[in-house]
Chains A and B, each alone.
Chain A
Amino acid sequence: MSAFWMVLLSVTAGTVISSVLACLPGLHIYNVMGALVLGILALEGTAHAVPADVYLPAFTGMVVGWSMLNTIPAVLLGTPDESAMFTVLPGQKYLMAGRGFEGTMITAVGGLAGAFFLVCVMAPLAPRYLPVSQQVLKGHMHWVLWVIITFMLMSEWPKGGNRGPAGWAKFYDAWKTLLAGLATFVLAGLLGFILLTRSPVNHEVAFQNIMPAFVGLFAIPWCLLNMISAAGVPPQRIAKSLEINGDVILRSVWSGGLGGGIAAYFPVVTGGVGGMLAGHATAQRDERIFIMGQGVSKFIYYVGAFMLMFVPGLNLTRGGGAWMVKALYTPMGVADYYLVLGSIAIAAGLSYLMMEPLTKLTLKFIDRFNYRHVSTFALGIILIMVYAVTGWVGLFIATVATGIGLLPVLFGSRRLNCLGILLLPIACNMSGFGETITGWLGLT
């Protein structure tokens, strides 16, 4: 089979598989990719070794398909991954208004616009300008993280203190949610210090040692709350028009591109933070722009980060997908870059086409099955996955992380604070005093 057909088939297979998997709540494509990496490594050196021309396009397709279609469970089932938490706010408004289909499709258009932006604008410029920016910024990544942490903590709105006379009682009432947010951030940060310094997860599967914590912080609390509250979803209707125009798309690209770009480029900054920054940076009053901007941001965060690894002369590894592929393969110049760009373009088109039927299928599924049962099913998948990869220790870590992940939900603070798990220890490490803190904790 010629290389062209091999690549085309691989990218198609990767996209289709990830698009279908993306509709399953609670399952992250990086977990699936991790399992595939294990398989590919096991086959290395045998007669059935998988060539890079097969797994590179397939992985690209998987990242693209997932970043595009994961909006479906995020909006329709309310089980967001970390990066989708901002999509959910307005997205769920659409769902509760019976316009879930519209919400997912607007996000998908955002993803497609993000693909155009990435392939047609960013990709030609990246080899020339990103090495320059990397050289300028490489000594400054640590303070960028600190600045993002500062903004994240300072921009949370106090949700109490709405009633009663002025004074300390009112102030305390307002600050309860903020203090809960700070506590969440610190506890998540401590968990991060433990896992990044002396993880109890078996070192043989250390490449997934943060996974149980992420699942516990973000996915499990959502499933639990759905199971407990069992909120009803109103009947959904299929819109014929998305009521978007060129202006909406352009403004979405500018807002989402900035947020997603920051998240993709800077280490540890995730799509959720990128989405937050995109929303804050552009002050859009139009809800459609906000939702579509989140689609752009999510696509650029996941796919852009993956693409960075292949930019000639840059040599930058960002995002879980790139880290996993790095263990298998070292990109080699422009040929690989074109391969990945082509794969991104094909996969983006393909996954967009799959968006509509899969959304409708999911809507039918929601109609037929109880929301509570769906959440229970998702929780089951998640727990099995955690146990399969990291064993009982992983389940214990996921349990502790669930406790932390429930705090913002139960005390009314931002779930974004859970990202302290990575932001705090890595910012401390990058600034050079991480070891001092782990020394205080007795971990080193």
Chain B
Amino acid sequence: MKGFSHFMSGVAVASFGPWAIDAALNGNPLFFVLGGACGILPDTLDFKFYRFFYEHDVYVTPDPKNPDPQYVADEYARAVALAVDEKRYVRVKLVSIRLGADFWQQYSVKIDNEKLEVLVKFGPVVNTGQVPVEGTENRYPTVARAKLKAKVIQTYDAGMKVDIFDGPTIGLKPMENGDLDLEFLPWHREWSHSLTIGAMLGALVGAGVWLAAGWTPAWQSFVTIAACYGVHVVEDQLGHMGSNIFYPITKLRTPGLHWMHSGDGLPNFLTVWICCLLIFWNLYRGQPAMTYHFGFVHLMMVGLVIPGLVFGALRWLLNRGQKVVVAKGDDADDEWNDSKAAG
């Protein structure tokens, strides 16, 4: 899911703690801030901290002055050979090519398992908005090829296009049949996306709070942090990529439920909106003197069901006879590109 959906989920989970609402009514926003921050924290840890410390075995660094697709293909093939020969996990960094203040050389990497080849094509020069610069599309028409020592299996359709800001990391993991399993962004959803880590973080902060302010705020902080961190892991599990749910007890990602892609518009919006309604409901319950009274079902009908039905009906009316194509993405690809695009 997108960062904002996780963030709002964290805030919504925090709002279920009566102590958070009591504190807020007394001018203390900390529990809600903690909820939102912990809701997005697993991704923050990955994207803003861990990836800069993640060691790679092979750095594919094309020269901006002399972009050579063959170099990229050869390096990729070398990384595959390394994984096959040494029977170990090999991490490859595809470094982006910056040409100017606002210009990047785009290139793509494709695996052809039929021919056991990697294909590298240098595309157009793009600006930071990922818009191709006219006249640069065919500067490098050559498709470079290099032979691979093993098949590289992609379990999901992660885009392997490198352009703006940072380039992606891929992990090549030898499998028992001799093929290599390709992991896109192996540093993502590794140790950070774990319920255990969330609980440990909660316990750590809770211990500090205990020393500073006593037992009651300590357990309240623990519950808020663990629950809000945990809801991120649970939500990510609804997608394809999954998470390493009980790290350090478990070592590998558990595949997701495949219910959605993390960048899908409707699930993200629904998550945010339902979170808003839940927060509203919890605030209403915690409000000492209300002139108005309503029930949960009433709120959901007015806030979700009726608008949803009206929206659905309008959409049906407006799109009759038209074929509406909604772009589908991939979990890791969505998170990687959307984060960059968000600035």
Interface size on B, residues (CB 8 A): 69
B179 smallest CB distance to A (angstroms): 27
Q: A147-B29, A170-B52, A282-B268 are in contact. List 18 more A-B contacts (CB 8 A).
A: A92-B129, A96-B127, A96-B131, A137-B280, A143-B33, A147-B33, A155-B4, A162-B167, A165-B59, A166-B53, A166-B54, A171-B49, A245-B318, A246-B315, A281-B8, A281-B268, A283-B2, A430-B27
Which chain A residues border B148 with CB–CB below 8 Å? none
Main secondary structure on A side of the interface with B: helix
**In the assembled complex, which residues on chain A have CB atoms less than 8 Å from the CB atom of B32?**
143, 146-147
23 contacts between A and B (CB under 8 A): A93-B127, A96-B127, A96-B131, A131-B292, A136-B283, A150-B36, A154-B3, A157-B165, A157-B343, A161-B52, A161-B166, A166-B52, A170-B53, A171-B49, A174-B48, A174-B52, A245-B318, A246-B319, A247-B324, A251-B265, A283-B264, A283-B268, A432-B27
- The digit string for B159-188, where 1 denotes a CB below 8 A from any CB of A, is 000000111000000000000000000000
- Determine if B283 and A140 form an interchain contact, defined as CB atoms under 8 angstroms apart: yes
Report the minimum CB–CB distance from B6 to chain A (whole Å). Answer: 10
Q: Shortest CB–CB separation between residue B339 and chain A, in angstroms?
A: 5
**Is B204 located at the chain interface by the 8 A CB criterion?**
no
User: By the criterion CB–CB under 8 Å, are B40 and A157 in contact?
Assistant: no
Chain B residue at smallest Cβ distance from A289: B265
Q: How far is the CA of A167 from the CA of B51 in the complex (A)?
A: 9
Q: Which of A89, A150, A174 contacts B129 (CB 8 A)?
A: A89
Which B residues are CB-close (under 8 A) to A156?
343
Residues of B at the A interface (CB closer than 8 Å) are 2-5, 7-8, 11, 24-25, 27-29, 32-33, 36-37, 40, 44, 47-49, 52-56, 59, 61, 95-96, 98, 127, 129, 131, 165-167, 263-265, 268-269, 272-273, 280, 283-284, 287, 290-292, 294, 302, 311, 314-315, 317-319, 322, 324, 327, 329, 334, 338-340, 342-343
A162 touches B165 (CB 8 A): yes
Q: How far is the CB of B79 from chain A (nearest CB, A)?
A: 16
Whether a CB of chain B sits under 8 angstroms from the CB of A132 is yes
In the complex, the answer to whether B3 meets A155 with C-beta atoms within 8 Å is: yes
A247 touches which of B292, B302, B322 (Cβ 8 Å): B322
Q: Which residues of A contact B264 (CB under 8 A)?
A: 283
Residue of B nearest to A151 (CB): B7
CB distance from A29 to the nearest CB of B (A): 27
* Complexed CA–CA distance, A321 and B40 (Å): 35
Task: Flag if B165 contacts A159 (CB, 8 Å).
Answer: yes
Nearest B residue to A285 via CB reads B327
Do A97 and B131 have beta carbons less than 8 Å apart?
yes
Q: CA separation between A202 and B179, bound complex, in Å?
A: 75
Contact yes or no, B322 A135, CB < 8 A: no
A258 to B343, CA, bound (A): 20
CA distance A167 to B7 in the complex (A): 28
Do residues A136 and B287 form an inter-chain contact, with CB atoms below 8 A?
Answer: yes
Distance in angstroms between the alpha carbons of A139 and B53 in the assembled complex: 43
Judge whether A285 and B127 touch: CB under 8 Å.
no
Q: Which residues of A contact B317 (CB under 8 A)?
A: 246
Complex: chain B residue closest to A139, CB-CB: B25
The smallest beta-carbon distance between B266 and chain A, in angstroms, is 9
Q: How far is the CA of A432 from the CA of B23 in the complex (A)?
A: 12
B293 closest partner in A (C-beta): A132
CB of A262, distance to nearest CB on chain B (Å): 9
Q: Specify which chain B residues have a CB less than 8 angstroms from the CB of A247 in the assembled complex.
A: 315, 318-319, 322, 324
Asked if B11 and A414 sit within 8 Å, CB to CB, the answer is no
A135 and B287 within 8 A (CB): yes
When A251-B265, A285-B329 are in contact, do A431 and B27 touch as well, CB less than 8 Å?
yes
Distance of B26 from chain A, by nearest CB (Å): 8
Closest 9 CB pairs of A and B: A246-B318, A143-B29, A280-B4, A432-B27, A146-B29, A171-B52, A283-B268, A285-B327, A143-B32
A contact residues around B25 at 8 Å (CB) = 139-140
- Does A320 have its Cβ within 8 Å of any Cβ on chain B? no
A155 near B287 with CB under 8 A, answer no
Nearest chain B CB to A132 CB, angstrom units? 5
Bound form: Cα–Cα A254–B311 in Å = 9
Cross-chain contact B48 with A155 (CB below 8 angstroms): no
Interfacial chain B residues near A147, Cβ < 8 Å: 11, 29, 32-33, 36
Cβ of A133 within 8 Å of any chain B Cβ, yes or no, is yes
**CB–CB A129/B268 < 8 A:** no
A158 at the interface (CB under 8 A from B): yes
Within residues 139 to 185 of chain A, which ones have a CB less than 8 A from any CB in chain B? 139-140, 142-143, 146-147, 150-151, 154-159, 161-163, 165-167, 170-171, 174-175, 178
A250 at the interface (CB under 8 A from B): yes
Indicate which residue in B4, B322, B329 contacts A281 across the interface (CB closer than 8 Å): B4
- Distance in angstroms from B40 CB to nearest chain A CB is 6
CB of B48 to closest CB in A, whole Å: 6
Answer yes or no: A277 CB below 8 A from chain B CBs: yes
For the complex formed, measure the closest distance between the CB of A287 and the CB atoms of chain B, giving whole angstroms.
Answer: 10
CB of A78 within 8 Å of the partner chain: no
Contacting pair B318 A163 (CB below 8 A): no
Nearest-neighbor residue (CB-CB) of A250 within chain B: B315
Chain B residues lying within 8 Å of A286, measured Cβ to Cβ, are 327
Interchain CA distance A251-B317 in the complex, whole Å: 14
- Counting CB contacts under 8 A, is A115 at the interface? no
Is the CB–CB distance between B291 and A250 below 8 Å?
Answer: no
Q: Is A284 an interface residue (CB 8 A)?
A: yes
Is A209 interfacial (CB 8 A cutoff)?
no
In the complex formed, the residue of B with least CB distance to A284 is B265
Whether A143 contacts B342 in the complex (CB less than 8 A), given A165-B59, A246-B315, A249-B318, comes out as no
Cross-chain contact A133 with B33 (CB below 8 angstroms): no
Q: A171-B52, A283-B269, A285-B327 are known contacts. Are A135 and B167 too (CB-CB below 8 A)?
A: no
Residues of the B chain whose Cβ atoms lie less than 8 Å from the Cβ of A170: 52-53
Cα–Cα distance between A116 and B3 once the two chains are bound (Å) = 30
A251 to B8, CA, bound (A): 20
Which residues of A sit under 8 angstroms from B24, Cβ to Cβ?
139-140, 142-143
Q: Which chain A residue shows the least CB distance to B327?
A: A285
Does any Cβ of B come within 8 Å of A342's Cβ? no
Among A238-268, those with CB < 8 Å from B are 245-247, 249-251, 254-255, 258
